[in-house]
Structure 1
Amino acid sequence: MLAIARRILSYEMTVAEFIGLVILVAIPYGLVGVIWTLTHTSHLGAMDGVDLVISFLGSIVCWPVLIFSDVCMT
C-alpha cells in the first residue's frame, strides 16, 4: 500500500497538465453548483444587488456543504 502511495505521489506533472486537470475537475463541480443553486433559490428572494450576486456565487461554490446541511436539517 505504501509503495502505491509513493508511486502516485512521485508522479511529476507539467504546468499544462495541472491546468488541464483543474479545468476537468472545475467544470463538473461548477455545473452541479449552478444546478443546485437554481433549484434552491428560496433564500435569494429577499436579496438584491451585491448581496444577491455574492450569495448566488457562494451557493455555487459551497454546494457540497449546502447539500449536507440541507440533509441534516430535515
Structure 2
Amino acid sequence: MTATENALEQRSWVRDLIIVGVWLALPYLVVGVFWADAHRQHLSKLHGLDATASYVGEVIAWPVLIFADVNLE
C-alpha cells in the first residue's frame, strides 16, 4: 500500500468515526432539548448568560438530572 492510499484510508476511517459520533449525539441532544424545555420554570428568574448556561447545562446533563431530581439555577 502506498503512502497516498494509506492517507486516504485513514481519512475515510476518521470521517466514518465522525459520522457515527454525530448519529449518536443527535438523539441525545434532541432528548436534552425536550427535557430542558419541559423543566425551564427556573429560567424566568435568570437573565442573559446565566439563563443560556443553565439551559445548555440541562441539555447536556439531562440523564443526571432525571435521577438526581435537581434543577440547574
TM-score for both structures, normalised by structure 2: 0.75
| Secondary structure of residue in 2 paired with 1:55 | helix
Q: Structure 1 unaligned runs (5+)?
A: 1-12
| Secondary structure of residue in 2 paired with 1:48 | coil
Aligned-residue CA RMSD in angstroms?
A: 1.6
| Secondary structure of residue in 2 paired with 1:38 | helix
Structure 1 residue ranges (4+ consecutive) displaced by more than 2 angstroms after TM superposition: none
| Secondary structure of residue in 2 paired with 1:59 | helix
Larger Rg computed on CA atoms? 2
Q: Structure 2 unaligned runs (5+)?
A: 1-11
Which residue of structure 2 lines up, in the alignment, with residue 21 of structure 1?
A: 20
Task: State percent identity of aligned pairs.
Answer: 41
Q: In structure 1, give the amino acid aligned to 2:16.
A: E
TM-score for both structures, normalised by structure 1: 0.74
Listed one character per residue, the Cα deviations across residues 17-49 of structure 1 (whole Å, up to 9, x for unaligned) are 110111001100000000000001122120000
Q: How many residues align?
A: 59
Which residue of structure 2 lines up, in the alignment, with residue 9 of structure 1?
A: none
